[in-house]
């Protein structure tokens, strides 16, 4: 029996999904923690997970766009869904606000333009301790939530005959 706050196991009809994780590992332990949480959540589906790293959070939308364009190339990779993971910790300048807004808008624009199944996991936090709490090996891991989101989107795509 599940306890309050515990994620229910993911389920998906059809073939095991292929998931591309695009991650910005500036805060490596945080991002790796989220990715490992996502991989644990996807394990019951026998998901094939591929990881691509980018320099920083700002590069996440462009990398997602490149991955989607690669799907259109003959014999190119075919992913069922995408997880976008990163972390931005607030500092003393406006840089935080600009990066967070740009990345969120970039990913949302791609999502609405393409309908691609995306799990969005950019932590935007005030402190590193907050990020660590959201990437720990427990039920509060945001990577688990991202995995659930992308599986939900893949379910819809398959239901509606898009995959």
Tell whether residue 69 is among the known ligand binding residues. Answer: no
Q: For residues 7-22, b (16+ Cβ closer than 10 Å) or e, as one string?
A: beebebeeeebebbbb
Tell whether residue 120 is among the known ligand binding residues. Answer: yes
Tell whether residue 59 is among the known ligand binding residues. Answer: yes
- Torsion of the alpha carbons at 56, 58, 64 and 67, rounded to the nearest 10: -60
Residue 142 vs residues 62, 84, 85: alpha-carbon distances, Å: 22, 11, 9
Residue 147 near residue 141 (C-beta atoms within 8 A): no
**Identified catalytic residue from 70, 95, 97, 156:** 95
Active-site annotation holds for 140: no
Tell whether residue 98 is among the known ligand binding residues. Answer: no
Tell whether residue 100 is among the known ligand binding residues. Answer: no
Tell whether residue 32 is among the known ligand binding residues. Answer: no
* Active site residues per annotation: 95
List residues forming the annotated binding site for (2S)-2-hydroxy-3-oxobutyl phosphate.
92-93, 134
List residues forming the annotated binding site.
26, 57-59, 87-89, 92-93, 120, 134
List residues forming the annotated binding site for 5-amino-6-(D-ribitylamino)uracil.
26, 57-59, 87-89, 120
């Amino acid at each position: 029996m599940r306890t309050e706050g515990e994620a229910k196991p993911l389920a998906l009809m059809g073939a095991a999904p292929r998931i591309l994780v695009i991650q910005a590992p500036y805060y490596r332990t945080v991002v790796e923690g989220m990715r490992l949480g996502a991989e644990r959540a996807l394990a019951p589906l026998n998901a094939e997970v591929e990881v691509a790293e980018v320099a920083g959070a700002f590069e996440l939308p462009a990398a997602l766009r490149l991955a989607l364009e690669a799907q259109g190339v003959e014999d190119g990779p075919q992913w069922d869904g995408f997880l976008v993971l990163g972390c931005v910790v607030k500092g003393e300048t406006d840089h935080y606000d600009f990066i967070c807004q740009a990345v969120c808008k970039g990913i949302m624009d791609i999502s609405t333009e393409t309908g691609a199944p995306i799990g969005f996991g950019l932590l935007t936090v005030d402190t590193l301790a907050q990020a660590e709490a959201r990437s720990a090996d427990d039920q509060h891991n945001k990577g688990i939530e991202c995995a659930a989101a992308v599986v939900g989107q893949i379910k819809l795509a398959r239901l509606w005959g898009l995959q």
